[in-house]
Amino acid sequence: MRVLDSHLHLWDPELLEYDWLEGPLAFRFADTELEHARLEHATTEKSVFVQAETVEDRFLDEVRWVTTMAEPLGIVGIVAGARLDRGSDTVAHLDGLAAEPLVVGVRHNLQGEPDGLAVSAAFVTGARDVAQRGWSFDACVRADQLPEIARLAGAIPELRMVLDHLGKPAVGTAAEPLAPTSEWVRDLDELARHPEVFCKLSGLPGEAAGDWDAGQLVPFLDAAADAFGPERLMWGSDWPVSVIGPAEEGDPHAPADGSPTYQYTARSRWADAVAAWAADRGHGVDAIMWANAESFYRTDARPTVFTDPAPRRRGILGWLRG
């Protein structure tokens, strides 16, 4: 099975600043750590890096840092951080990103933003500029924000957009699962009416706080397939955000107090769960695990980028600023 992970994060708090990292996530997750989290059943593995919400003035530095690791890690595209409501500053930032050959799209993380921002005049103008550059937009929103994203899609029908994490519905836990709500299904269906909007099968293990099983999440995958059709679905790991939870059985490093910890096999388990679901439903495993993401992000047309890996650790702060 070939896999193109449509939603991979990397970060290093020693090199870039992050205001949101805490607990088991407040450590380095980069090249070495990813090599230890490779997918067990993937014959070929590539990834699209999605911005990890470093502080705003380091968005471009983040792109440059990830580019240094792209070739050995199999990263074929970068979804860069961008604020789309900054007017001329947004244009200047997008111009800077245009010089980075691996950039395929941008993400303005909307899940913590006030209602109405995504359909404000400033944001729509910035998003329209993204579309004109041929890039895509990753929409990371809460379930209650789905109608707003549908309005954005209606305002800019030419904007290729992908919904991260199915809109973050409440899924419960393995022991106490929740069914999809009628409101979430309704709003997902409405968003899917826009043909340029895709959906990532990602993030649900994180919404379950790492306490999940495949059967619990199948109804949400089915709802996404019913709304978008399998041709607009793509798998994403949301690594390492979605691999934090109760210690896995046999973990010799499990915290004695039972607190959440890193789950070593969770990335592979999520890939296997979605692939098994797709096969069972006859949706086309290769499309969901590889081809749809390749087509959406246009990574098959990206040039090969070779970089000097020497600055990866020592002296990288000065190199990034340069």
Average pLDDT over residues 139-167: 98
pLDDT value at position 302?
53
pLDDT value at position 12?
98
Per-residue pLDDT reduced to its tens digit, 15-55: 999 999 999 999 999 999 999 999 999 999 999 999 999 99
- Which residues are CB-contacts of 29 (< 8 A; sequence separation ≥ 6)? 9, 10, 11, 12, 239, 240
Please give the residue range of the domain that contains residue 51: 2-321
Percent of the chain topping pLDDT 70: 93
Burial class (CB in 10 A: 0-12, 13-18, 19+), 264: middle
Distance from C-alpha of 298 to C-alpha of 18, rounded to nearest angstrom: 29
Residue 258 pLDDT level (bands cut at 50, 70, 90): very high
Average pLDDT over residues 134-160: 98
Exposure of 238 in the CB half-sphere (CA atoms within 13 A) = 25
Q: H or E stretch including 88?
A: helix 88-98
Query: Does this model's pTM top 0.85?
Result: yes
Q: To the nearest whole number, what is the mean pLDDT of the chain?
A: 94
Please report, for the domain that includes residue 75, its CATH number: 3.20.20.140
Phi and psi at 54, nearest 5°, equal -65, 165
Residue 101 pLDDT level (bands cut at 50, 70, 90): very high
Could you give the number of structural domains in the chain? 1
Question: Which letter does DSSP use for residue 2 in this model?
Answer: E
